[in-house]
Every structure is written in C-alpha cells, then in structure tokens.
Structure 1
Amino acid sequence: MNTLESQFNNPEYLSQEGLEKLKKELEELTKIRRFELSEKIKNALAQDDLSENAEYDIAKEEQSENERRIAEIEDILSRAVLISKESGGTYVRLGSLVSLKKEGSDAIDHYSLVGSKEEADSLTGKISHESPLGAALLGRKKGEKVKAITPNGEINYTIIDVG
C-alpha cells in the first residue's frame, strides 16, 4: 500500500476490512488456486491428443482468469488508501454510516459509504462513493435532502443521521 503515490494515481479507497479481504483472496489465488490449476493443466497435458482436449482448454481458460484476477487485486492494493474509521461526524465521508429516509416512505435505510467498488455490496448496505447515491451523499450533513439519479429514475432522500 503506497499511500502518497496512490493519492495521485487513481486511489482505491478501502476499509481495513476490505483491505484484509483482498489480501486474503490474493493469497488464496496465488498460493492455492495457482497450484491447483497448474496440476489440472499438467494432468490434461498427459492425455495423448491435445487437439481435442477440452480439459486442457478449460484449465488454460481458468488459469487465465485466475491470473487476471491476481493482477486486478495487485493493482488495487498498489493504489489502496486506507479509510479511517472515525465514528460520528457532521458530514458524510468515506466510512460513514448514513441513515436515510426515502421520499414517500416511512422506512429508514442504513448505508455504509465505502470507497471501493470491490467492497460495495447492496445486500449488506455497503455503497460505493462512486454510485449515484454514494456520490449524492458525499459531503452532505444530517437533515439535508439529496437526489440520486439512477437508471430507474430520480430518488429523493433525507439524511436522518450520520455516524
């Protein structure tokens, strides 16, 4: 993680949790999956006719995908900037937990604003600062109304709390 250089070369903002998750995935892909795939390729090569060897073709494709993901994670980690996890705060920033009320609804939704698309997960309420809602929230404060322009149309929210 090279913080100074990362800030100038398209930084990838990550929480400590997101950073650890990517490091774990990278270790699994480089130490376990690479070996499994090389064994799979070796076994496929042991077969006589490579011209009709679907196992070999599949293994090579899997190896290519594995190496692509390794390169992607290494790139993300090289640009990683750690998000500080300070609680509270007046303004929505990366790492903030935000409570929102959608216009026309009584339900209150809770979202955590994360910096990386790698960490974003709508099922667990983690939204990227680059998403329409995340971008609309960034820098705003409790009580403000925000408008998110999504593929499904315009959605208006009121910020109930920032934590």
Structure 2
Amino acid sequence: MAVTYMTEDGLRKLKEELVQLESVERPNISKQIAEARDKGDLSENAEYDAAKEAQGMLESKISQLKGLIATARVIDESAIGTDEVQIMNKVTIKNLASNKTMTYTLVSESEADLKSGKIAVSTPIAQGLMGKKVGDKVDIKVPSGTMHFEIIEISI
C-alpha cells in the first residue's frame, strides 16, 4: 500500500471521522437491520435490503479510512521550504492566456478541497508545478488541452 502524506490536522480529521463511523453510524445501521428483521419475511423486505446495503457501504468506508490512517505519514510542516514547489506549499500562479491569478495549496488526496483552494498533489496542475521555482513558466497538460502558467509566489 502506498504511503499517504498529510498534515497533522488532516490525520486528526480522518481519525475523528473513523470514530464517528464506528461508534455512531455502525450501531445505527445494526439497529435498522434488527428492526427490519423483526418485521418478518426478509425475502420481500426492502427496509432490510436497504439497511444491509448501507451496512456494506459503511464497512467499506471504515476499511478505506483505516487503510489511509495506517499508511499516513505526517509531514513536518516546519521543514517545508519555499525555494521550489512541494507538498504543503501555497502556490500563486498566473494563467498566461487569461492573465488570471490563482492560489492553491498542494495537499494529499485525502485533504483536497477545491472550494478552499486545496488541490491534491496527484492532479495534473500540482504535478506540473512540483519542483518549479518562482518565475518559472510551465506548460501543463490538462484534459482540455495545455495550459500555460507562471509561478508568481511560493509560500507556506
């Protein structure tokens, strides 16, 4: 299994979600299954089928979270530099075609949230920026074609 790099905050959120799923959601679904079972004939019981399906999806999510937590490596944020783009950097780039400026923080897949400007290091844009320096011009292939950016600033 591949190592997943994340912040201490990101790991804490995953652990909190796991506790919620195991201590609240799992007992709720077990209760729903028991109630549906008490209603009789399981072969024609839609509530039972729905509860069993929800249980399967919940167990899958719990398993996925446990896997992420098991392979997580917390990034020492004090050791992050700004000479070149790396995970946990906040990068301001200018789209050379539109002259629009955007700022993204490069994070692990589990912490990505485009609405708050956090993109996963595995995305084409993040991959194209990794290792580059302020002033570098980069051409990044995205599904819609090639985009041309200039790196304006790298910060933490």
Per the TM superposition, whether the score is higher than 0.5 is yes
Question: Residue type of the partner of 1:159?
Answer: I
Residue identity in the other structure for 1:100? I
The equivalent position to 2:65 in structure 1, one of 51, 73, 79, is: 73
| Per-residue Cα deviation, 1:86-124 (whole angstroms, up to 9, x for no partner) | 465211111000000011223211100012x22112221
Is this contact kept in 2: 1:84–1:95, CA < 8 A?
A: no
Q: Which runs of 5+ in 1 are unaligned?
A: 1-8
Aligned to 2:90: 97
Match of 1:148 in 2: 140
1:38-57 alignment runs, 5 A limit = 38-57=30-49
The amino acid across from 2:148 in the alignment is N
For structure 2, which runs of at least 5 residues remain unmatched after alignment?
Answer: none
Could you tell me which residue of structure 2 aligns to residue 20 of structure 1? 12
Q: Could you tell me which residue of structure 1 aligns to residue 100 of structure 2?
A: 107
Match of 2:94, as an amino acid? K
Q: Identity across aligned pairs (percent)?
A: 36
Task: In structure 2, give the amino acid aligned to 1:13.
Answer: Y
Letter in 1 for 2:135: G
Aligned partner of 1:138 in structure 2 is: 130
Provide TM-score, normalisation by structure 1: 0.90
Alpha-carbon distance in 2 for matches of 1:81, 1:121 = 19
Secondary structure of the structure 2 residue equivalent to 1:130: coil
**Helix, strand or coil at the partner of 2:20:** helix
2:3 & 2:81 partners in 1: Cα distance? Answer: 24
Matched with 2:27 is 35
- Structure 1 segments, 4+ long, off by >4 Å, are none
How many angstroms apart in 1 are the aligned matches of 2:23 and 2:139? 45
How much is the aligned-residue C-alpha RMSD, in angstroms?
A: 1.2
Corresponding pairs, count: 154
TM-score normalized by the length of structure 2: 0.94
Counterpart-to-counterpart distance in 2, 1:62 and 1:71: 14
After superposition, the C-alpha distances for 1:39-63 in whole angstroms (9 at most, x for unaligned) are: 0000000011111100000000000
Distance in 2 between the 1:84 and 1:157 partners?
A: 28
**Structure 1 residue 19 displacement after superposition:** 0.8
Q: Structure 2 CA distance, aligned partners of 1:72 and 1:147?
A: 34
